[in-house]
Amino acid sequence: MKKIIIAAALAVFVFSEGRALAEDPALHGFIQANYSADMDTANPDGKRYKRLEERVQLRLDSSKASYRLFLKGDLLYDHLDDAADAKAREAFVDRTSENWDLRLGRQVITWGVGDLVFINDVFPKDYEAFFAGRPMEYLKKGVDGVKVGLYPEAVSIEAVVMPFFEPNNLPSSSRFWLYDPMPGVTNRVAEEPVSKPANTEVAIRAYRDVAGFDTSVYFYKGWYRTPSMRPDDPAAPSRITLFYPELYTYGLSLQKSAFNGVISMEAGYYDSQDDRNGRDPFVPNSQVKALAGYQRQLMDDLTAGVQYYGEYMRQYGAYEAARIQGFPKEPQYRQVASLRLTQLLLHQNMRLSWFSFYGITDRDYLLNPEARYNLTDDLWAAVGLMVFGGRSDTTQFGSQDKNDNAYLQARYEF
């Protein structure tokens, strides 16, 4: 239904202006193989792969005058589920004018300055894709909506209206070992916010240069994209509702060349609308989140980036008083550090990279070394590892200890 509405909206938008878009359409895409094998133990479903698929992507790009049509679709065959699938990754029409532009349809939006840490990027992610060693672009999911860009002299503005809720894609319980506080309760119902005017998500970013800093301020009215769990009876649960609490966020980011590199800073306030006093144990408390990063070239073609992330829970006393015994206790402060190293070799045809998270508070980690080589200008292949671990099996990476995998990505582009 959702897709039909979008297609109809696109058609109306295009034809109401009485212009044909299809002039010199450019067609590109790729053929890709993506395999990811368990290094530690088999999946909960007994299989030994986290991903085993081939896919074809086609991108159609066509412009005429102030209009542009862009379609990006994937056709894939998944050997683990033994099933073929088709997905529209992006599908939008642009209308550009001198001081404004408009993008209507499915689109990927990335905000903020974090490196794999998202504070003001409130758009949906596919974490399973990232943890299973898929190419980075699959971490981002498209949203269905309208983005308006306004460019007056003083400031640039992006405003996104999203009538259709899109949750994050979390690792599936058949392919990933995950922590579950109520493993015995299998009767689970997911409740997504329905599409109606009052539920429409709005995200706004305003940006400009301020004293050499690329400065952005952000606002978002919408929903947590990772579900919360509410049991029917906390003492003896028989049924769990997975729901998406209402969320407002307010944020700021800064980025600038300094200290022979690039410094990045970002902060956000997560205003949890459904639990402002912190007394509901099943809804996240409001939080302050912040990061600081520094990136620099150490030598020719060798770049290093370090990043610190911290989050602070508000109404912690209320949380402690209300929390359910037996569930892992959240810290008031959580801190995470990350490191990225990128070395280019062989006329930049070879890229060796290292990315890692270290949970300072949770004492857990994620390690992601990767080597990628461009065999020709059209064909590249990458091999890498995703290694998880930690002191506790209830934290984000500690709980994934058994999900270590080695992956291969190979892509022929045309």
Partner 1 sequence: MRRTLLITLTFVFIACTARAATPEEIMRESQGAFLYQGRDFKARVVMRLIGAGGGERVRELTMLRKNSGKTGGDQKYFIYFYQPADVKDMTFMVYKYPGKDDDRWLFVPALNMVRRIAAQDKNSSFVGSDFTYEDVSGRDIEDDTYALVKEEKLNASDCYVIKSMPKAAGDYAYKVSWIDKTNHLPLKEEYYDRQNELYRVFIADEIKAVSGIPTIVKRTMKNLASGHRTETEFKKVEYNTGIEDSLFSERFLKMPPKNRIE
The residues of the shown chain that bind partner 1, judged by CB under 8 A, are 28, 30, 63, 94, 96, 101, 107-110, 113, 136-137, 140, 149, 151, 156, 207, 214, 255-257, 260-262, 264, 295-297, 299-301, 303, 344, 347-349, 374, 376-378, 380, 411, 413-414
Amino acid at position 64, single letter:
K
Nearer of residues 242 and 304 to partner 1, judged by Cβ:
304
Residue 333 beta carbon to partner 1: minimum distance, rounded to whole angstroms:
28
Write down the least CB distance from residue 311 to partner 1, Å.
22
The separation between CA 231 and the C-alpha centre of its own chain, rounded to angstroms, equals 27
Closer residue to partner 1, CB minimum distance, 11 or 26: 26
What are the start-end ranges of the H helices in 84-233?
127-131
CA distance 390 to 399: 8
- Terminal Cα distance for the chain, rounded: 32
What lies within 8 Å, CB to CB, of 396 at 6+ separation is 359, 362, 364
Residue 113 Cβ, how far from partner 1 at the closest point, in Å? 8
Rounded to the nearest whole angstrom, what is the least distance from the CB of residue 108 to partner 1 in the complex?
Answer: 5
Nearer to partner 1, 186 or 260 (CB): 260
Cα(322)–Cα(340) distance, integer angstroms: 39
Nearest CA to 406 out of 356, 370, 365 is that of: 370
Closer residue to partner 1 (CB): 106 or 175: 106
- Considering beta carbons, is residue 109 or 283 the nearer one to partner 1? 109
Please count the other Cβ atoms lying within 10 Å of the Cβ belonging to residue 272.
Answer: 23
Residues 202, 222: Cα–Cα separation, whole Å: 7
Q: Give 101 or 320: the residue with its C-beta nearer to partner 1.
A: 101
Min dist CB 376 to partner 1, Å, is: 8
The distance of closest approach from Cβ of residue 275 to partner 1 in the complex, given in angstroms and rounded to an integer, is 32
Sequence-ordered alpha helix ranges (H) in 147-207:
none
Give the DSSP H or E segment for 14. Answer: helix 2-16
Local structure of residue 108 (DSSP, 8 states): -
How far apart CA 304 and CA 355 sit, in angstroms, is 10
Name the minimum Å distance from CB 118 to partner 1: 12
Which residue number, 138 or 327, has a Cβ lying nearer to partner 1? 138
